[in-house]
Amino acid sequence: MATAAPKKRAPGPPAAVAAHAATTGTPRPSAAALKAARAGQTGGGGKPLRFYINAVLFLWAMTACSLAINWVQLVALPLSLVSRRHYRRWMRFTQRLFGSLMLTVTYVFAPLEIVMTGDHEGLTGDSVAVIMANHQIYTDWWYIWLFAWFRNAHGEIKIMLKDSLAKLPIFGWGMQFFEFIFMARKWGKDKQTLTSNLARARDDKMPLWLLIFPEGTVITDDTKAKSRAYAKKADLPDDPTHVLIPKSTGLLNSLRVMGSDVEYLYDFTIGYSGIGPDACPYDAYPLTSVFFEGKGPAQIHIHVDRFKVADLPGVRRAADDGDIVTPGAARAKAQARSNGSSSSSSNSGSNGADADTNPEFALWLRQRFLEKDEMLKAFYERGRFPELSRDGTGITQALTISPHVQDWITLAGLLVGSVLSSLYLLF
């Protein structure tokens, strides 16, 4: 896919300090250096005028266009009573609208390049795949969605999120129409939510990219402390630097419910340009800096390893025992178990029923995240991931964010639609 060169912009704190390091031979910037550079550009306290202009434009564009998408989704509700398949096709169309909106907004406010390495060529717009990823900043999911646009799969994304996000006005409404999976972190409730959602997805027989963040949250000083406390309580020796200790229950049961429909688990390891080994990406690239000040990462690096689901320990046990065979059986099992387990525990990561956890899979996942931690240590020292995956396959591909004509038409149409609907409601 041919793409235009990235837009030029004045270097923000991460880019400016990194550029200085490249020309002087000094080490990459630390967390303290990043904060000092950011404070220096804003006079130590106030925000430049550009911040407020971009904030207003970004929030207006995202809110207005997302509200227009809500209206497009709402008019299709009667269709759900007639044909589930046509209803889902309509919702996939609205999801593609949102993907185009994200792409154009990124191009305008935070232009960047996505550098893919490893075994990623098998992910296409026709794929049914489960993707797990490390979670360093709040926009991790955003950048994966942008990558999906390049594979014509920006209408196929399904994300596992915390349930509080479903209550967000406008954006939460849209995610509910997208049929994202909202988890309460109470396995007695979450199991039925996950199973029924994915069973419907299997029945739909449509492409699907299911995105899961096994760490459950972004990595900060606070969440690292909680992760260490969890490891101590569980008598685990793990003490990673760039990842948190993952929880396996949601991922394991997603793979089990999807069954033979999913052949591969894709593991995304995400790294960001412009920061050093001891810096925290969450501190370096907050949402306001990325979109309101244009000080986001110049490059997003995503390294992909692919694992055959049938070879993962503990995943196929349920299917072998006849526990989850078909979507209908999956729903029936989930309903029966939920009716008989109202007193089940509240932590979906560690307190699920024995049938829903597997120590071998949990150990494999922890070891995999320790490997990711080592990869990230090397990345933040060298500034790149290896080209090949762990099994020796793969290729490097640089993807520059550059909307097509239809993406600009989509943005214009959504903006006009939001204005017209607002005028209609007012008058």
pLDDT digits (tens, 9 = 90+) for 154-200: 999 999 999 999 999 999 999 999 999 999 989 989 999 999 999 99
As a whole number of Å, the end-to-end CA separation of the chain is 45
Q: Do residues 222 and 229 touch, judged by C-beta distance below 8 A?
A: no
Under DSSP, the state recorded for 122 is: T
Q: Sign (positive/negative) of CA torsion 385, 391, 397, 401?
A: negative
Tokens of 327: 């979507």
Tokens of 217: 């949250």
SS (H, E, C) 198-244: HHHHHHHCCCEEEEECCCCCCCCHHHHHHHHHHHHHCCCCCCCCCCC
Distance CA 388, CA 380 (A): 18
Under DSSP, the state recorded for 388 is: S
Residue 372 has phi, psi (to 5 degrees) of: -65, -40
Q: Is 157 helix (H, G, I), strand (E, B) or coil?
A: strand
Tokens of 385: 């991931």
Instruction: Scan for tokens 């017209």, then name that residue.
Output: 420
Under DSSP, the state recorded for 5 is: P
pLDDT digits (tens, 9 = 90+) for 85-129: 999 999 999 999 999 999 999 999 999 999 999 999 999 999 999
pLDDT score recorded for residue 425: 72
Domain ranges of the chain: 13-426
Q: Is 283 helix (H, G, I), strand (E, B) or coil?
A: helix
Instruction: Scan for tokens 């971009």, then name that residue.
Output: 54
Instruction: Scan for tokens 């089940």, then name that residue.
Output: 344
pLDDT score recorded for residue 422: 76
pLDDT score recorded for residue 234: 85
pLDDT score recorded for residue 160: 97
pLDDT digits (tens, 9 = 90+) for 300-311: 999 999 999 999
pLDDT score recorded for residue 233: 87
Residues in the chain where the model's pLDDT stays below 50: 1-27, 34-44, 318-353
Tokens of 278: 């001891």
Give the neighbor-by-neighbor strand order of the sheet with 113-118. 181-183, 157-162, 208-212, 128-133, 264-272, 299-308, 113-118, 397-400
pLDDT score recorded for residue 345: 33
Give the chain's radius of gyration (CA, Å): 22
Distance CA 364, CA 371 (A): 11
